[in-house]
Amino acid sequence: MAKVLEGPGMGLLSKWGMAVPRHVVITAADQLMPLAHVNPWLREAKLVVKAHEAIGSRMKQGLVKVGLDLSEAQKTAEEILAREINGIAISQVILSEMIPHEKEYYMAVKSTAEGAEMMLGPGGIDVESHWDQIGAVAIPIGTTPDGDQLENLARESGFPISEVSRVADFALKLYECYDREDGTYMEINPLVLRDADKEWIALDAVTMVDGDARFRHPDWNFSFASEFGRPYTPSEQAIMEIDSRIKGSVKFIEIPGGDTALLPAGGGASVYYADAVLALGGKIANYAEYSGDPPDWAVEALTERICALKGIKRIIVGGAIANFTNVKKTFAGIIAGFRKAKAEAKMKDVAIWVRRGGPYENEGLAAMKALQHEGFNVHVYDRYTPLTDIVDHALRGGEK
């Protein structure tokens, strides 16, 4: 699952026939006036200025200002761009036209084990406080919601009786967007009826899609938002790009300040190693995993990024006993990454701790152990050594 920021999220809504406010995204306040020369609405309309980041409750945190003219919007954008929230620097601002309206509504569609679920009801910044008023209808796998079904849902969820047909049409467009864009969750809050022409407008969008489906969408010209607020680093983006086009999977997230790098096989091992390192007082420098028998070149690229992490003292490699991932092949990618990193002087005083089992494990472990003859400080263990022992050895500097 990958999160799409509000601007490109509204772009997807517009693509599938839903009305959204006119908007622009800037990364510096001085970009606004040049944009106003070619976008007259920025000069003519009252504006809404919001932090364009993956941060919840922006209004409550003072990251949304409404009813501004152009000069006020520029000053507000500058103020927001100078802020940090929980250590996250605000790097983008979205400005949109203010849409006068009377009441706010909520509309969303989310993936479920059985298919999808469409939800409608009263909206606004405190939607959670009246969640019992949100109506829902299940959409089984292989089906689409019909007009009568959505009209009944709109009627039961508090929408004006005179608007239930148009609300159902809007909901069907949202479902089509969700379905055709490989969505996992799409939310509009608020959805409003514009005073001027009584058109339904999506004022805000929360959009989550299947990031692995990017290859099916050549028009996705946006980057995914990180799940923890800050922008993805170049290394994280590089691994995401590789992950999107390979069989199997490679994942990588940097965690500044850690001294223990992790290169685990599989999501379970990655979580286990992270917890074990922290339990023994260590500090992890990253989250990573490779799984599903990825190509060796992809594992090599992942290894290079891990070896380039600042301040690491050790790298823990491996995982449990694989079912079908070829240990020899994936270790070949890791070894190539180690060699390249050493040639670039990135492996000085870094110890490598290896534990793995699975197809071709003997050959893979032997190749890894042979790195000792090339000057690597590498320690290799097979399937008969508990994973707990590897973490203990790595943090304490050897067997006790």
Does residue 226 lie within any of the structural domains? no
Same domain, 204 and 298: no
- Rounded CA separation 322/265 (Å): 8
Same domain, 260 and 355: yes
Same domain, 211 and 260: no
- Rounded CA separation 393/252 (Å): 24
Same domain, 269 and 387: yes
Same domain, 352 and 380: yes
Same domain, 89 and 108: no
Domain boundary among 81, 97, 113: 97
Does residue 345 lie within any of the structural domains? yes
Q: Contact, 100 vs 194, CB < 8 A?
A: yes
Same domain, 185 and 93: no
Does residue 385 lie within any of the structural domains? yes
Question: What pLDDT is attached to residue 128?
Answer: 81
Count: domains in the chain: 3
CATH code for position 378: 3.40.50.261
CATH code for position 162: 3.30.470.20
Q: Contact, 170 vs 107, CB < 8 A?
A: yes
Does residue 16 lie within any of the structural domains? no
Question: What pLDDT is attached to residue 124?
Answer: 87
Q: Contact, 349 vs 313, CB < 8 A?
A: yes
Same domain, 378 and 253: yes
Q: What is the DSSP string of 148-214?
A: HHHHHHHHHTT--GGGHHHHHHHHHHHHHHHHHTTEEEEEEEEEEEETTT--EEE--EEEEE-GGGG
Same domain, 337 and 205: no
Does residue 253 lie within any of the structural domains? yes
Phi and psi for 327 in degrees, rounded to 5?
Answer: -65, -45
Cα 219 to chain centroid distance, Å, stands at 18
Domain boundary among 97, 114, 130: 97
Does residue 366 lie within any of the structural domains? yes
CATH code for position 42: 3.30.1490.20
Which pair of tokens denotes residue 264? 């685990």
- Rounded CA separation 133/122 (Å): 7
Domain boundary among 76, 97, 118: 97
**How many angstroms separate the Cα of 270 from the Cα of each of 117, 250, 267, 306, 356?**
32, 12, 5, 14, 13
pLDDT in tens, the chain (400 residues): 788 999 999 999 999 999 999 999 999 999 999 999 999 999 999 999 999 987 777 888 888 999 999 999 999 999 999 988 766 778 899 999 999 999 999 999 999 999 999 999 999 888 888 888 999 999 999 999 988 999 999 999 999 999 999 999 999 999 999 999 999 999 999 999 999 999 999 999 999 999 888 889 999 998 887 766 567 888 998 998 898 888 889 999 999 899 999 999 887 888 888 999 999 999 999 999 998 888 999 999 999 999 999 999 999 998 877 677 788 888 999 999 999 999 998 888 999 999 988 888 899 999 999 999 999 999 999 888 888 888 899 998 766 5
Same domain, 80 and 187: no
Question: What pLDDT is attached to residue 398?
Answer: 67
- Rounded CA separation 24/32 (Å): 9
Does residue 130 lie within any of the structural domains? yes
Same domain, 203 and 110: yes
Same domain, 247 and 366: yes
Whole domain around residue 308: which residue ranges?
234-396
User: pTM for the complete prediction?
Assistant: 0.70
Does residue 4 lie within any of the structural domains? no
- Rounded CA separation 287/168 (Å): 43
